[in-house]
Structure formats: C-alpha cells, structure tokens
Structure 1
C-alpha cells in the first residue's frame, strides 16, 4: 500500500457494528504492514528521505511535480478519493505536489513529537486520522471500490470479489446461503435478503463465489476486459442502492 494513499479495505457498504470493527482491525494491520514495507533499513522509524524516495518512485517521469490530473492517473484511485488526498497533501494550496515543499511538510505532519523521525505508532495514528477524514468526504461507492480492489490497481477482478466474499462464507464451501449472509453481515433479514438476492444471479438461493460473482462481473464489464473499472463498478453500486430507494409517492 502506498504511503501517499494511506487507505485500505474499510468498506462502506451498509454493515453492522461488529463488521465495521473487523474492517477497522484490517485497516490497522495493513497500515502496520505498510510501515514495515517502507522501513527499508529496518530501523523502526521513517526519515524524511524515506518519504521523498517513495515520492520519487511514484512520480518517476514527472520531475518531482504533479498536478491533480497526473496524481489521479498515478495512484489508481476513484476520482473523489484522489482529489481528497491531493488537496490534503498540497500543503501550500498551489495546485501541485512537490517534493521539497509538500512532501517535506507531509513528513512533519506525521512526525508528532518533532524528533525528525516517524515511528510506527506515529505513522499508523496519522494514517488512520487521514483515512477517517477521507471517508467523510467521498462517496460510499468509492470506499466500497477501494475496499474490494485488493491490490490497489484500480480494477476489481473475480479474485478481488471472491476474497471480499470470503468473510460471508462461514463454512468455507464456496457458496453462501441466505442464513450465512444474514449471520455474517449482521444485517436485518429484510436488508440482507435484498442484497443477497441481488447477488444470486441464477436464483438458486445460494451465492456461488465462482458462478454468481463471475456473472456479476460479466454483466457490468462493458468493455469486455474481464474486470470492473471504477465507472463499471459504479453502475453496479447504483443498481444495488436502487433496491433501497422508496418510489416517489409511497
């Protein structure tokens, strides 16, 4: 996961409190893993040079300066999330991210005790704070997308969907029946039933992680590349949410 993105699988689809706690735990664990990934010298802290080295890697070919359009292309995030992070890290509000000004300032933002180093605790704490702010300003569809897009490449594949649905498959048989879905999602029966039957493409009262999820991708994969981009996933999300919209006059 990318130091400048600082996001992970906190999915925004309607879930109960228990599942939200599980997702928060996943977020924290991924942030710890991210810290260790970028602590290349294994010294237990990050320096400003670590932040700048990653920025150089991210912006290779852009001479260290990127605008919003370039940043959005580089990090493979939904447009509203990319815009949030860009503006958050554009410390002098000049419409550009630069290494010597903005990234240095980002480092100091993470360095809570101002000792010139970012500890693992500081990194995780600041990243969670930023993530929570981001979640308040972007669409639920975007949060769902980054939660399901396991490798952060900007696409949702069958494998991504299958991993997402693993938590609902309580007996690990590759299929999810309605009772499993209700129990694992912590939703009320009426809400869970609507979502479940939306995903049960062949109407056989189970969501098969191969058959039904492949059918879902095939249906919304308008460009035929075998995966869903953000626009294609948005169409799926809009249709799912339409199940819960009360018709006018009722």
Structure 2
C-alpha cells in the first residue's frame, strides 16, 4: 500500500514538465519528500503518512481512482505502481497493506526502504511501462 503511495508520489514528480531532471534525480527528490526525518530510509510510519494523503475519502483504502486523481496519471501507470504491493490485485490498497511496500522495495531485508532501493524499484517499474505497447 505504501509502495503504491510512494509510486504514486514518484510518478507525480516524473509526470512534471519536460524541464524535470533525469528519472533517477526525480525519483530521489520524490523519496526525499517521503523521508520526512531525513534518515535516508523510509519506514512504515513515513509510508502511512503518504498513504493518508492519497486516501482522499479517508476510508482506510487507497483506490486506483484516488491514485489516478491525485497524480493525474493514466490507469496503466497506476496499475503498474499498485501491482507490487496490492497482494489481492483488486486495485484497492488497504491501510494495513503498507507493509507490502516495505517487502516489495526492501531488497536488503533491513525493514526499511533506502533511497537507492526506492529509486531502483521505480526505475524497474517505469522501464516496464516503456516496453508496454498498450499503455501509450
């Protein structure tokens, strides 16, 4: 769920005007907005804060529609962001699914998502979109 929020947040930064720096720089900036304590890592509490921002009707769920509305992205982008964290693939992230973000992004198993892990995962997601002939 948090992964989705993070992805949504990152995509919002990526979808900015063409003057935006390269993808890695943009993703780093998105991560830094999530990392509110400046530790270089993001944990469950920081992802919950992001989730709450995207849960527009405050029902404890982030729907694909809410994600699309906040980030102004097409459905295929939102689905790509949701996929790694939406365990039941129902296009709805429950607040309780925030731990899925950690497990999807935390490649070294330390229980938090580092800036490098965040950037790497989003680069993979966006690379898969570039190869998607249906999403463009």
The interval holding the TM-score normalised by the smaller chain is: 0.7 to 0.9
The secondary structure found in structure 2 opposite 1:66 is: strand
Structure 1 residue aligned with 2:122:
127
Q: Is the 8 A contact 1:59 1:74 kept in 2?
A: no
Structure of higher RCO (CA pairs closer than 8 Å, 6+ residues apart): 2
Structure 2 residue aligned with 1:201:
none
Does 2:6 match 1:3?
yes
Q: Deviations over 1:22-43 (max 9, x none)?
A: x9x7001111111112211111
Count of residue correspondences: 126
**Larger Cα-atom Rg:** 1
Does 2:75 match 1:79?
yes
Say which of 61, 67, 78 aligns to 2:63: 67
The secondary structure found in structure 2 opposite 1:3 is: helix
**Residues 32 and 70 (structure 1 numbering): CA distance in 2 closer, same or farther, change over 3 Å?**
closer
Deviation of 1:139 (Å): 3.0
Structure 1 residue aligned with 2:99:
104
Separation in 1 of the partners of 2:84 and 2:37?
28
Structure 1 spans left out of the alignment, 5+ residues: 10-22, 141-250
Separation in 2 of the partners of 1:37 and 1:73?
19
Say which of 122, 131, 134 aligns to 1:136: 131
**Residues 123 and 83 (structure 1 numbering): CA distance in 2 closer, same or farther, change over 3 Å?**
closer
Q: Is the 8 A contact 2:62 2:92 kept in 1?
A: yes
Which range moves more in the overlay, 29-38 or 70-79? 70-79
Q: Is the 8 A contact 1:85 1:134 kept in 2?
A: no
Does 2:111 match 1:116?
yes
Separation in 2 of the partners of 1:43 and 1:114?
17
